[in-house]
Amino acid sequence: MNKNPIINITRIIFALSGLTGLAWGIISTAVNQEFAGQYFSIVLTAVVSLAITYIPDFIKDKDMLMMPIGLQVIFTLFTFCAMFLGEMLDFYERFSWWDTMLHFTSGIMFSVIGFILFVSLNRDNGVRRQTNPIIIVMFAVFFSIACGAIWEIFEFAGDSLLGMNMQKWQTSATALQWAESQNVSNISNPGLINTMKDIISDTLGSFLSIVFILPLAKYKSKYKKSEVTTVELMEEYNFAFTDTELNFSLKNLLETPKKTA
């Protein structure tokens, strides 16, 4: 069991929610003689959410990444807000800003994870200290934006393959409003609006994280800008492409195989 009470309480809430949903689902199905899908949906959400909270523990135990307890708590609370409050208690529908707030927050959180990933993959002190801090920040920010893009792909797949409404593509506009907005306003495509709002929120959160990631990247940095000019750099790589061994490899790669009789 995790030593942090916030993480443990969150896990207990997910476990109790799953058990409650399972009990009500069985009772409702038995009484109404009809499968109570809404209750079993709660069970599935609770089980998935509970499993997600153990991901940081797994990563920490396998020594894949540094996993500060503070980040574990933030990750767990984020899961609680997204899954329990958002999905089970329907905060996404009750509060129009809830989804945007979570995407903005995730942009910050995944930037921090991106920074930790970079540091964890470059454990050699010399390599880490002599890396340009801007490179580290760029990696963290673009890692976060990429995570946001992957999530949108997941939502698109869920909506396309399972008929879900994760991208909010099911319009609330009347048939007349929808017809009038065609080729005039993107109100006729609420899924596009939702996706772009999510990506923009992710990106803004990612850029905001630079404020505290950059000082961390600069901490004890021994990086010094090389005196090599861009012209010299270009000449170096031009030479690389004329290297005999490299040319031979590229020729074999690009050469069209001959047909055999």
Across the range 45-61, mean pLDDT stands at 92
Q: Is residue 161 part of a domain?
A: yes
Would you state the pLDDT for residue 240? Answer: 67
Q: Is residue 173 part of a domain?
A: yes
Would you state the pLDDT for residue 226? Answer: 82
Across the range 132-145, mean pLDDT stands at 96
pLDDT digits (tens, 9 = 90+) for 196-209: 999 999 999 999 99
Would you state the pLDDT for residue 241? Answer: 66
On whether both 19 and 106 belong to a single domain, the answer is no
Q: Is residue 174 part of a domain?
A: yes
On whether both 70 and 126 belong to a single domain, the answer is no
Would you state the pLDDT for residue 57? Answer: 92
Q: Is residue 245 part of a domain?
A: no
Across the range 21-39, mean pLDDT stands at 85
Q: Distance between CA 112 and CA 72 in Å, rounded?
A: 12
**In the predicted structure, residue 77 carries a pLDDT above the cut 80:** yes
Q: Of the given ranges (34-48, 122-136, 179-193), which has the lowest mean pLDDT?
A: 179-193
Q: Is residue 231 part of a domain?
A: no
Q: Is residue 86 part of a domain?
A: no
On whether both 73 and 104 belong to a single domain, the answer is no
pTM of the model: 0.82
pLDDT digits (tens, 9 = 90+) for 150-180: 999 988 887 788 676 777 777 666 777 767 6
On whether both 45 and 100 belong to a single domain, the answer is no
How many domains are there within the chain? 2
Half-sphere exposure of 162 (CA within 13 A, CB side): 9
Would you state the pLDDT for residue 158? Answer: 78
Would you state the pLDDT for residue 246? Answer: 65
On whether both 208 and 103 belong to a single domain, the answer is yes
On whether both 103 and 50 belong to a single domain, the answer is no
**What Rg value do the Cα atoms of the chain yield, rounded?**
25
**In the predicted structure, residue 42 carries a pLDDT above the cut 90:** no
Q: Is residue 50 part of a domain?
A: yes
On whether both 13 and 71 belong to a single domain, the answer is yes
On whether both 75 and 103 belong to a single domain, the answer is no
Question: Could you tell me the residue range of the domain that residue 153 belongs to?
Answer: 96-222
Select the more confidently predicted residue: 35 or 1: 35
On whether both 207 and 113 belong to a single domain, the answer is yes
Would you state the pLDDT for residue 252? Answer: 66
- Indicate the pLDDT class of residue 1, thresholds 50, 70 and 90: low
Q: Is residue 238 part of a domain?
A: no
Would you state the pLDDT for residue 135? Answer: 95
pLDDT > 90 in the chain, percent? 48
